[in-house]
Structure 1
């Protein structure tokens, strides 16, 4: 009976591991399918280090098995002591030099790749007209959302990073509250986002993300930062350079106030302007500084609050009780911004209609 239980436990463990590992092949969030040169360099280092570790394990296991087979009691007897090799200079040289060689094989490419990734000199290069040659993004990590400012373009967005393909994109990382970590598994990186100092690095994206499921890569906070750390996700949309330039132009154009279509959406705008506007901007043009995420592209996103499905039901649920879905976040409860009352279903419907209409994409 006990053997049967143990077999089922082993089967359950293997099944759970298979489910966990099934995500390793997902291009949106897998380090094993790099989306750019940085990701490939880091994957090569992982393969190299894993290969060295496997080689060491195999050699040690072979020596271990040979020693057990050669000097087992049934073969040499009870009272036989094998020849001692203490002080053997040849063996000591072998097990000293070989580890040093293996460490050098691993250390040299690691150091080279680390310094290459830290080279952000291209961030300051200008063309003949004085315009920045590369795209730079100022990333600010907040509890529990991400803000992305493009200082050279004069635009800002949140929760969805948009980048051009086939060129280096530079990042300035800073935290607004506690320590976070910026990571796009498919592209590489994973760098600390601190409160007191600015970290810089770059990433590259080979192809547009529109061919992926949901049309985006997935990014995460990789540093335990609070009760909703696991929900601090963001999305990355990579576009061909012409499409990126068009998106940037549309973001700048969003500064012009537009009247929403339909009476319900207009009612939602009025509610938003009396309850939500103090924390959230609805224009992609300008600079950072909002208490809450910029909502200029809310209608273009595929997630609510970074992790919930992007539909009317989830939007209403999030506005009604943000603390229930993302504990520790700083978004106020409805009563705090709506004269001490919860939003009615009609008000929630109007707000949802208005928010879904905030879009810069055709």
Structure 2
């Protein structure tokens, strides 16, 4: 009776696990719903490897069950010893050759896709006027945020990657401090960002992200990099080419302007406390100590993981270490004469920062 109950417990556990895993297929954050050709190629490899493993498991289980049924004591008796096949050359050839063939089946498309996705020769192609034809993004991973520079377009953003759909987007990946890993689950990738060298690859996006939850895909750091590694997310907004070009022009021309008395007060506080680390214009080059805040009002997360509200923003400014341990943002006491910002100062800063936008 107890054995039967244990079996049902195992079955219930597996059923619950299946239901739980069924929630892992969100389109904005899942390798199971590829959003571009690179993601589909990697998904196909996943299906192939799963099929091979499933085949191996099924064959082993069948052999195991047949042995149990055929040689059970009730059928053959107590003193019967089955024929011993130890040292059989035929069997040794079979279980050596078959795994080799299966590995070859898996290795061929793996090698093909590896070289295909590493081919970035088109990154340097130019048109008749000498302009680059492909979008290139220099990605710099920092503790614990991401900087995106479009070197051919003169635009820099932080925590928000904006890319066109229907074409290859090329990436130069590097790290500013420790090893990180750049990964957009729905699009593919997962390539290390190193301090000592630049890694390159490309991604493709099929559709605009506007119809997704929060209107974006999500990217992550996939390499353990410190105590706040799990909070090192970024968002990916995909636009058609026309809208992307319009976004670029807006990013290059929009100036940070405080609207209203409270926002003006916030700008004054920002210029005396924060401007040394944070830029408020997306035009220029990369290399800022802190994230570029030109599009802060367009974001949907504070510090990469908290809901984008003024209350969360104020909490973050006044005690960043308690929310993201190990990050390099100074505590307010270092910026405000040894004291935390007052409620009035926080209200003003939040009003100013929430108004920074290149999309409105």
TM-score (norm 2): 0.95
Q: Distance in 1 between matches of 2:76 and 2:222?
A: 55
Relative to structure 1, the CA distance from residue 214 to residue 74 in structure 2 (aligned partners, 3 Å threshold; closer, same or farther) is same
User: What SS is found at the alignment partner of 2:236?
Assistant: strand
Q: How many residues align?
A: 360
Q: Point out the more displaced range, 97-106 or 231-240.
A: 97-106
Note if 1:201 corresponds to 2:210.
Answer: no
Give the aligned partner of residue 340 of structure 1: 338
Offset, 1:92: 2.9
Offset, 1:284: 0.2
Relative to structure 1, the CA distance from residue 350 to residue 215 in structure 2 (aligned partners, 3 Å threshold; closer, same or farther) is same
Relative to structure 1, the CA distance from residue 186 to residue 58 in structure 2 (aligned partners, 3 Å threshold; closer, same or farther) is same
Note if 1:55 corresponds to 2:55.
Answer: yes
Q: Is the 8 A contact 1:231 1:306 kept in 2?
A: yes
Offset, 1:95: 2.1
Give the aligned partner of residue 184 of structure 1: 184
Q: Point out the more displaced range, 231-240 or 22-31.
A: 22-31
Q: Distance in 2 between matches of 1:19 and 1:250?
A: 44
Offset, 1:3: 8.8
Relative to structure 1, the CA distance from residue 319 to residue 208 in structure 2 (aligned partners, 3 Å threshold; closer, same or farther) is same
Give the aligned partner of residue 167 of structure 1: 167
Q: Distance in 1 between matches of 2:15 and 2:313?
A: 35
Give the aligned partner of residue 284 of structure 1: 282
Q: Point out the more displaced range, 173-182 or 89-98.
A: 89-98
1:174-232 superposed Cα distances (whole Å, 9 cap, x missing partner): 01111111110000000111111111110000000000010000110011111100000
User: What SS is found at the alignment partner of 1:85?
Assistant: coil
Q: Distance in 2 between matches of 1:97 and 1:60?
A: 16
Offset, 1:13: 5.0
1:1-362 maps to which residues of 2 (within 5 A)? Answer: 13=13, 17=17, 20-254=20-254, 256=255, 258-362=256-360
Q: Distance in 1 between matches of 2:258 and 2:200?
A: 39
User: What SS is found at the alignment partner of 1:108?
Assistant: helix
Q: Distance in 2 between matches of 1:10 and 1:60?
A: 21
Offset, 1:5: 10
Q: Distance in 2 between matches of 1:112 and 1:144?
A: 34
User: What SS is found at the alignment partner of 2:169?
Assistant: strand
Relative to structure 1, the CA distance from residue 48 to residue 79 in structure 2 (aligned partners, 3 Å threshold; closer, same or farther) is same
User: What SS is found at the alignment partner of 1:59?
Assistant: helix
| Structure 1 runs, 4 residues or longer, greater than 3 Å off | 2-20, 86-90
Q: Distance in 1 between matches of 2:3 and 2:65?
A: 28
Structure 1 gaps of 5+ residues are: none
User: What SS is found at the alignment partner of 1:69?
Assistant: helix
Offset, 1:348: 0.6
Q: Is the 8 A contact 1:221 1:233 kept in 2?
A: yes
Structure 2 gaps of 5+ residues are: none
Relative to structure 1, the CA distance from residue 66 to residue 14 in structure 2 (aligned partners, 3 Å threshold; closer, same or farther) is closer
Q: Distance in 2 between matches of 1:46 and 1:163?
A: 26
User: What SS is found at the alignment partner of 1:348?
Assistant: helix
User: What SS is found at the alignment partner of 1:64?
Assistant: helix
User: What SS is found at the alignment partner of 1:137?
Assistant: strand
Q: Distance in 2 between matches of 1:302 and 1:207?
A: 20
> Considering only aligned residues, what root-mean-square deviation do their CA atoms show, in Å?
2.1
Relative to structure 1, the CA distance from residue 323 to residue 43 in structure 2 (aligned partners, 3 Å threshold; closer, same or farther) is same
User: What SS is found at the alignment partner of 1:195?
Assistant: coil
TM-score (norm 1): 0.95
User: What SS is found at the alignment partner of 1:30?
Assistant: coil
Offset, 1:23: 3.3
Q: Is the 8 A contact 1:23 1:30 kept in 2?
A: no
Offset, 1:259: 3.2
1:151-190 superposed Cα distances (whole Å, 9 cap, x missing partner): 0001100001000000000011101111111110000000
